[in-house]
Structure 1
Amino acid sequence: MTETTPAPNAEDIVAGKCPVSHFAAEFNPFDEDYQQDPYPVFKSVREQEPVFYSPEIDYWIVSRYEDIIEIFKDTESYSASEAGVMITPPCPAAMDVLVEANFVPSTMLVDEDAPLHPKRRRVFRKGLNDNKVAELEPYTRRFVSQCLDAIVKNGRADMVGDMTFSVPALTAFILMGVPEAEVERVRGYAARFALWLWGRPTDEQQVALAGDYAAYLQYAREHVDKLAENPGEDYMSNVIKAWQKDGNDEVWDKTYLASIMQSHLYASHETTTNAAASGFKSLLENRDQWEAICADPSLIPGAVHEILRYQSSVPTWRRITTKPVRLGDYDLPAGSRVMMLTGSANHDDAKFEDGETFDITRENADEHLAFGWGVHLCLGQGLARMEMRVMLEETTKRLPHLRLVEDQEWTYSPNTSFRGPDHVRVEWDASQNPLPEDRP
């Protein structure tokens, strides 16, 4: 009879009674090298220690595609409630700002479990279906064209500052029913909040971000009040109409509606900004593939999926155990915090052949986990893909000779969960623009 060795106990490892591996001791998602490029770390842990405990951030780290899918599947053992917990709790001065704004903590759909989550999701899904995305596409195309109009004769641009930051924000405003007259005001709130939720901001940064957050929240409350009085056909109006139906008081309240208005605006904005920016960077670094989509725009939808797989704008996500579980070689008690390296899963050779290679013709690229999986699959995935597709369609048509500025510095917001370059600086010979009207 073969004798088996009991699995190490999680509490023993956390208490330091079991040997601590190299990865457990060294893994730090806030390290500068990791921030610049986490994928070498992902590859090492995936191949050598796919599950381990990180004392640096007090999370169990999971890196393989198959294991992460199992966590997403098992909604009874792994709660989504950890997804929205701030990595760094607000300092007292930041809390004072939030208290002054009458901030009341609320969930954000991504961190909800059954039975409320499926009830709310059904309503949200109706407001963001394929027909709605198709309705928004002409607006997105107009916004992209306006961005290109502003830069096409210049010969130099920052694709983030000049396009990928503004287009998703403007599209989200239309989706959420923000009147055109209020767009300029709301654009001032369209800051990047990833550092606030998933980073380690200094106290000074926290206070500034808390101020932005409070102003954004105040606008969200005002907007919800206006739509409650005069709802339209936009996403938020559909949610408000559902709230106003008899019997839905236990599912909705105004605090939750304002939270949804705010969180969906910045989430749909920031993730797509990052994904599109990473897309331009990846395509221009792989010049043959940029030239391929310039020559054949029908390749662009597949390229969008490959971008999302190769440089996920959401490289990690979180869960917390609701009961004892077996994870890899370890037995974890209830209340164990788990960080899933979805960016690592997207490079897993067991799922994606030669996963470290960028290939816009990859047949199964659409099986990536950039939008999560299962009951929490991102509702806005179709909208994000449409925005990325339109940005590439219009840019390749008017600036096929675009190239990256050489030796530029790449910087990223220092947080665990949202990733994309702060700038993508490009240049081109404007006298060679294919459209005569675009030449100086």
Structure 2
Amino acid sequence: MTSPTPAAATAPSGRCPFSGDAGDFSSFFSGPYQQDPAASLKRARTEEPVFHDPETGYWVVTRYKDVKRVFSESKSFSAAVTLAPVMPPSAEAGEVLQKYAFAPSPVLIDSDQPVHRTIRRLNAPVFMPENIDRLEDFIRTTTNRYIDRFAEKGQADLVADLLWDVPCLIALEFLGVPEEDVDTVRKLATSMTEFIWGQASPEEQVHAAEGLGKFWAMAGRIVEKMKQLDNPPGWIGHTVKLQREHPELFPDSYLQTNVIGGTMAAHETTTNATANALLTLLQNRGQWDSICKDPSLIPAVVEECLRYSSSVVAWRRTAKVDVEIGGTTIPAGANVLMVIASANHDEDIFDAPDEFEPTRSNSTAHIAFGHGPHMCLGNHLARLEMKIFLEELSRRLPGMRLDDQEFTYLPNTSFRGPEKLQVSWNP
């Protein structure tokens, strides 16, 4: 997780010019992008589908076919920048991380070929549907236990009262460390999001670095504890066993990085994806009423929710060579931001993309889980969780409605979900 070197802020001579802000685009950390990333880049998709953003130093890719191409071409684009801070960290933040001996290794998410192919193959068995489906009873029971706490109150903040804890509890169960304090883990994971994908002030960056350092230290304790077990459980247990067979591929730093990356990825994305789905459905009341009457519609609704309002709105790569994308040459060494949310609203791929329509014929063509060799291994778990959340909430609280409120989002380039989701119903 080293800081990336920003791409040059001027276009190479003779290549396609860029505006620096693609017309009406302003910032990745405030305003329209936070509220509606796809809409904020609509003009860019039409007039300037690849442009340079001077604020971050990244080249921004907005169209569906171009985003898929960057994801797919591992010979031209490196994943090594994925977990590097978008904005270079301050010296003070770096000192905080040094205090915790923060030294992550490349893992699945930020390794390149051929290493990525090998470690993905070795990790894949944990993510097979037959293994994920064993968690269904745990997910459903835990979800209902939390709904029980507020069902008679007639109101709730679904993020604070349900989606803050439950996806994290599921993540910890999947990882094999269910005894960890969920609130501590969730807060430390939020520090990771702020530090890597946000635009914190120097003071905020030091605070986030402190949280990330504590997260790293916690991961080290978990790894050491699990290494003492003959048959450690969960995904982390699986990587401990892989270390015993392939120590050169899975050093302790890999295991430790996998704990913090796996914990963050397994719950941060599902928390946001489910909150986005519930917000979308309650804003489209007819669709909510439809799944309350007919739960068999939910799988298709989940897919359209993932397309319409994905929780991972952007992902990153670095160009290994000069490469032309969308009529623009991105220079070797430049960092690239692929805006998944924009791609999923590309008018060339999806008819009336700004309409929420679960019956559309190609909703599953979305790339909410990425594309190509790095496509998210945890997609089946995420879909299962979202399905169960929608099934249980629509079954138990069909009269749920949105309260009057302003929706706010944690400022960052890549993850999006409302910080609060206040609802009411007749108990």
TM-score (norm. length: structure 2): 0.93
Aligned to 1:40: 39
Aligned to 1:267: 265
Of residues 278-287 and 195-204 in structure 1, the stretch that sits farther from structure 2 once superposed is 195-204
Of residues 180-189 and 368-377 in structure 1, the stretch that sits farther from structure 2 once superposed is 180-189
**Among candidates 267, 279, 286, match of residue 277 of structure 2:** 279
Aligned to 2:173: 174
**Among candidates 380, 405, 410, match of residue 407 of structure 2:** 410
* Aligned residue type for 2:155: R
Change (3 A) 1:301 1:187: same
After superposition, the C-alpha distances for 1:193-245 in whole angstroms (9 at most, x for unaligned) are 32211111112222222222222211211111121120334111111111101
After superposition, the C-alpha distances for 1:328-380 in whole angstroms (9 at most, x for unaligned) are 22233211221111111101122111111111222321211111001100011
Tell me the distance in 2 between the aligned counterparts of 1:403 and 1:198: 32
Of residues 348-357 and 273-282 in structure 1, the stretch that sits farther from structure 2 once superposed is 348-357
Q: How does 1:78-227 map to 2 (within 5 A)?
A: 78-180=77-179, 186=185, 189-191=188-190, 193-227=192-226
Any unmatched runs of 5+ in structure 1? 1-9, 431-440
Tell me the distance in 1 between the aligned counterparts of 2:177 and 2:333: 40
Greater radius of gyration (CA): 1
Q: Is the 8 A contact 1:294 1:397 kept in 2?
A: yes
Q: Is the 8 A contact 2:28 2:34 kept in 1?
A: yes
Aligned to 1:369: 367
Tell me the distance in 2 between the aligned counterparts of 1:411 and 1:188: 18
Could you say what secondary structure the match of 2:148 adopts?
A: helix
Q: Is the 8 A contact 1:169 1:190 kept in 2?
A: no
* Aligned residue type for 1:328: G
Cα shift at 1:124: 1.7
After superposition, the C-alpha distances for 1:78-130 in whole angstroms (9 at most, x for unaligned) are 11112211012222222222111111132232111011111111122111211
**Among candidates 345, 348, 367, match of residue 347 of structure 1:** 345
Cα shift at 1:399: 0.1
* Aligned residue type for 2:86: I
Aligned to 2:394: 396
* Aligned residue type for 1:40: A
RMSD: 2.0
Change (3 A) 1:281 1:371: same
Tell me the distance in 1 between the aligned counterparts of 2:292 and 2:16: 55
Could you say what secondary structure the match of 2:11 adopts?
A: helix
Cα shift at 1:42: 2.1
Tell me the distance in 1 between the aligned counterparts of 2:14 and 2:99: 42
Tell me the distance in 2 between the aligned counterparts of 1:282 and 1:183: 27
Tell me the distance in 1 between the aligned counterparts of 2:180 and 2:53: 48
Any unmatched runs of 5+ in structure 2? 1-7
Count of residues paired in the alignment: 418
Q: Is the 8 A contact 2:272 2:418 kept in 1?
A: yes
Of residues 275-284 and 159-168 in structure 1, the stretch that sits farther from structure 2 once superposed is 159-168
Aligned to 1:422: 419
Could you say what secondary structure the match of 2:41 adopts?
A: helix
Could you say what secondary structure the match of 1:339 adopts?
A: strand
Tell me the distance in 1 between the aligned counterparts of 2:239 and 2:407: 39
Of residues 276-285 and 159-168 in structure 1, the stretch that sits farther from structure 2 once superposed is 159-168
Could you say what secondary structure the match of 2:316 adopts?
A: strand
Q: Is the 8 A contact 1:190 1:266 kept in 2?
A: yes
Tell me the distance in 1 between the aligned counterparts of 2:32 and 2:348: 26
Q: Is the 8 A contact 1:84 1:108 kept in 2?
A: no
TM-score (norm. length: structure 1): 0.90
After superposition, the C-alpha distances for 1:253-288 in whole angstroms (9 at most, x for unaligned) are 001110001111011111111100101100000000
Cα shift at 1:327: 1.7
Tell me the distance in 2 between the aligned counterparts of 1:67 and 1:17: 18
Tell me the distance in 2 between the aligned counterparts of 1:191 and 1:328: 34
Change (3 A) 1:181 1:196: closer
